[in-house]
Chains A and B, each alone.
Chain A
């Protein structure tokens, strides 16, 4: 079967590049081996939140030249990054997701443990505040759902009280949720969110109004709006003060929402999404990848002019570490791994771990190499790439999105 572009990996990076390729009129397919790391999403995208251990607020793109040389941001360059990344809110909007944030200045998002971390884009309903101003509330009500264990009001209260906000804590219940408690393991954000529709939303709002007292705002776990904004809008109208959400333990409601919204946009643009299939390998002719083989399609390969590999890092199985080696399992692409197992990590858990920077090495256009030979019609994007520590830098989403958009623009322009 022949396509113009095939993307291996159906997470954030794969979806974004696929959407841009399909929009440009290219016959595009995504092969996705199971659902993606987006299901763990916090509701915020980071661009560059930390350099040399210091939080970055103003003009994060100005710091790009100071990043270590093989860094993906350095390959793209600050000016082009600005152009590429300014597309992201537009794509999210088209998919039905409203977001907040600007490339010139990071805001702070509230983490589930009550910390404030720099972020670039945050979904409209999630806590995002200006870094230099006092928090916009004097008193908040942190309202949990009764017997829901994946949300930690005390941590949040601690964090907010340190910033001078008075906090009250309460848990509410609505009878509609009682059926869910029959199975003790299933009081999860995504399961609950299915029950918060129509009148159940009004009932929840009534309970929240009862406990919120005279708070300026209500902070709640992200348990509404898995399939659309409608329950969130209905809820916000019915609660007497502004409502903000904080992400929960996965599977994450904003994550599922984002995954499904982007997938649906891709399909609306004419794309083919092949779920639950794994690419086993490919056939090369010279420096070009001609076709790939998948587990489900067996002896019927998928052909394309261009390919993008966005299979993620260790967590997404884009990289595999066994006892002896680290490798890229689809094509055996060249990696920047140095030394044996004992050199992959630092014994201090909190230190900058070398393995975090491992990934596929590429040229400046993100073409990867296999046995030292560049593959000219294959692009590597997202967490699979080498040369950055997403955790320490607070840069994972920015790199994922920028490299995806970069690859898509190289293919379509």
Chain B
């Protein structure tokens, strides 16, 4: 039975806010941009006014990164970030610009860019092109674009991996995400390498679209919902076939598990528990003694682990760090929890570029002072930001495990099957 209090709580529970301002203390944007009213004011406080009159909507809500650090800090479990995202979608007065739609439409842009990858990569790196994009599109000319791959991960998979996967008794489905597909198929290959070594086959979903995080952030909600429905249909099919769905991107994972229901208002509770990160699943199997990882003796790296904001919100950073700690040759450096500042497409935009870099500055400084071989992180946009801002190499924990694993010995140790 619902209590009286529960009956009086709205969707994103802003009534639970006690105005303590703790969220604002931990907001990375408030720290660098006084034009942003802070999560308490932008979220629960502003919501009361907006419900009264949409006119009270403040365009400064566009400065929110959607990092959800306010929600992690909130002592009363208010979904502050969700309130802000929903308000931007509901009350935002300007339609998404051409630039925003382009940045958000990772599938279309990715497909085109992959087809002409060498030309696109060359062109996007040219100073005059950067200046043109800066002037006419508002994409900051300091920003380095991720390289596009001429071979899409899906094409590689069909040609080189699909057949092999059928041989495994136990299988998982892989939501690779746009980054693996269009920019960095190597991460997908690393994931397959690791999971195959422990005796698990990797299948692709019947149809995969962008998770929608960029479209949600850029308020292209119709398109995000259409993609999300296609993804959920494929995920349901995979789960129905006895497969859990694995991801290697913390942001895609967070979006599908939480933003689909909280922001897009799509029902996903039937499959949510079957959607997980590869590091979480791998840790579980090792922790339960079902899988044994054998590491190479010649692997040595000093690595700092940056917990992406959405990983912090998922609460799963401990799985990635625990796995990396299992690697004997990996010297893991702890970092203070800190947003890197890019927040997906946010840091590409000219008007936010300086804020983006200012937010990440303490992190960059700490990384540069730590004498590292590389940085580990579960999010591709954190990777771009850290690589561009520090010059350090950034790798997904799954890629580090793939490098450190003695594949043959691991395969032999897990021959009996799970």
- Alpha-carbon separation in the docked complex, A179 to B21 (Å): 19
- Cβ of A35 under 8 Å from chain B: yes
Q: In this assembly, does B71 line the interface, its C-beta being within 8 Å of a C-beta of chain A?
A: yes
Pairs A-B, 4 closest by C-beta atoms: A296-B315, A276-B72, A34-B75, A179-B34
Interface residues of A in 190-226 (CB under 8 A from B): 190-191, 194
**B74 contacts A34, CB within 8 Å?**
yes
Q: Which of A1, A188, A190, A276 contacts B287 (CB 8 A)?
A: A1
Inter-chain contact B37/A186, CB cutoff 8 Å: yes
Contact of A348 with B by CB under 8 A: no
Q: Which residues of A contact B273 (CB under 8 A)?
A: 298-299
With a CB–CB cut-off of 8 A, which chain B residues contact A276?
A: 71-73, 312-313, 315
Cα(A179)–Cα(B336), bound, Å: 27
Q: Which of A271-327 contact B (CB under 8 A)?
A: 272, 274-278, 294-300, 316-317, 322-323
Answer whether residue B301 sits at the interface, using C-beta atoms and an 8 A cutoff. no
Tell me if B334 counts as interface (CB < 8 A to partner A): yes
A1 to B323, CA, bound (A): 12
In the complex, 19 of the A-B residue pairs with CB atoms within 8 angstroms, ordered by the A residue number, are: A1-B322, A2-B287, A34-B77, A35-B26, A39-B25, A180-B34, A182-B35, A185-B38, A186-B24, A186-B30, A186-B38, A251-B22, A256-B25, A275-B337, A295-B315, A316-B75, A317-B76, A322-B3, A322-B5
Question: CB within 8 Å of A: which of B9-41?
Answer: 20-22, 24-26, 30-31, 34-38, 40-41
A250: which of B21, B284, B287, B313 is its contact (CB, 8 Å)?
B21
Min Cβ gap B143→A in Å is 25
B280 located at the interface, meaning its Cβ lies under 8 Å from any Cβ of chain A in the complex: yes
Q: How many residues of B contact A (CB 8 A)?
A: 42
A2 to B4, CA, bound (A): 39
CB nearest to B316 among chain A residues? A296
B318 contacts chain A at the CB level, 8 A cutoff: yes
Chain A residues near B38: list those with CB within 8 A: 183, 185-186, 191
The digit string for A10-35, where 1 denotes a CB below 8 A from any CB of B, is: 00000000000000000000000111
**CB of A165 within 8 A of chain B?**
no
Number of chain A residues close to chain B: CB under 8 A: 41
CB-defined contacts of B31 to chain A, threshold 8 Å: 194
**Residues of chain A with a CB closer than 8 A to B284's CB:** 300
Instruction: Report yes or no: B287 in contact with A35, Cβ–Cβ below 8 A.
Output: no
A331 within 8 Å of B (CB atoms): no
Return the chain B residue nearest A226 by Cβ: B25
- A188-B24, A276-B312 known, 7 other contacts, Cβ within 8 Å: A1-B287, A35-B73, A39-B20, A185-B37, A186-B38, A190-B21, A190-B25
Q: How far is the CB of B245 from chain A (nearest CB, A)?
A: 14
Q: Is the CB of B26 within 8 A of A185?
A: no
In the complex, whether A36 has a CB less than 8 A from a CB of chain B is yes
Bound-complex Cα distance A299 to B38 (A): 34
A113 at interface by CB-CB < 8 Å? no
A35 surroundings in chain B (CB, below 8 A)? 22, 25-26, 73-75
CB-CB < 8 A to A33: which residues of B? 75, 77
Q: Taking the complex as formed, is A344 at the interface, i.e. its CB lies under 8 A from any CB of chain B? A: no
Assembled-state Cα–Cα distance A298/B60 (Å):
36
Q: Which residues of B contact A (CB under 8 A)?
A: 3-5, 20-22, 24-26, 30-31, 34-38, 40-41, 45, 60, 71-77, 273, 280, 283-284, 287, 312-316, 318, 322, 334, 336-337
| Nearest CB in chain A to that of B26: its residue | A35
Rounded to whole angstroms, the CA-CA distance of A194 and B24 in the bound complex is: 12
Please state if A39 and B22 are interface contacts (CB–CB under 8 Å): yes
Q: A250 to B315, Cβ gap below 8 A?
A: no
In the complex the two chains form, what is the Cα distance from A322 to B337 in whole Å? 36
Quote the shortest CB–CB distance from A350 to chain B (angstroms): 22
Residue of B nearest to A323 (CB): B4
Determine how close the nearest CB of chain A comes to the CB of B132; give it in whole angstroms: 32
* Residues in chain B near residue A188, CB distance under 8 A: 21, 24
Any B CB within 8 A of the CB of A267: yes
* A148 interface residue (CB < 8 Å to B): no
CA distance A40 to B18 in the complex (A): 13
**In the complex, what's the smallest C-beta–C-beta distance from B82 to chain A, in angstroms?**
14
Contact A251 B21 (CB under 8 A): yes
* Complex CA–CA separation, A188 to B34 (angstroms): 12
Contacts of B280 in A (CB 8 A): 300
Chain A residue numbers with a CB within 8 Å of B73 are: 34-35, 275-276
Q: Which residue of B lies closest to A278 (CB)?
A: B77
Please state if B77 and A191 are interface contacts (CB–CB under 8 Å): no
Check A267 against B334 for contact (C-beta < 8 Å): yes
Q: Please determine whether A186 and B34 come into contact, CB atoms closer than 8 angstroms.
A: yes
CB of B25 within 8 A of CB of A186, answer no
**Which residue of A has the minimal Cβ distance to B313?**
A276
Contacts of A300 in B (CB 8 A): 280, 284, 287
Of B36, B314, B318, most buried by chain A (CB within 10 Å of CB) is B318
Assembled-state Cα–Cα distance A295/B77 (Å): 12
Name the distance in Å between B62's Cβ and chain A's nearest Cβ.
14
Which residues of B have CB within 8 Å of A264?
336
| A34-B20 Cα distance, complex, nearest whole Å | 12
For residue B287, which residues in chain A have a CB less than 8 angstroms away from its CB? 1-2, 300
A332 CB → nearest B CB, Å: 16
Flag A259-276 by CB within 8 Å of B: 1 or 0 each: 000001001000010111
Chain B nearest Cβ from A349, distance in angstroms: 19
Known: A183-B35, A276-B313. A191 touches B322 (CB 8 A): no
Residues of A within 8 Å of B22, CB to CB, are 34-35, 39, 250-251
**Distance A333 CA – B77 CA, assembled complex (angstroms):** 22
- How far apart are B255's CB and chain A's nearest CB, in angstroms? 16
Interchain CA distance A194-B336 in the complex, whole Å: 17
Evaluate contact between B20 and A40: CB separation under 8 angstroms. yes
Chain A contacts for B72, CB-based, 8 A: 34, 275-276
CA separation between A1 and B285, bound complex, in Å?
11
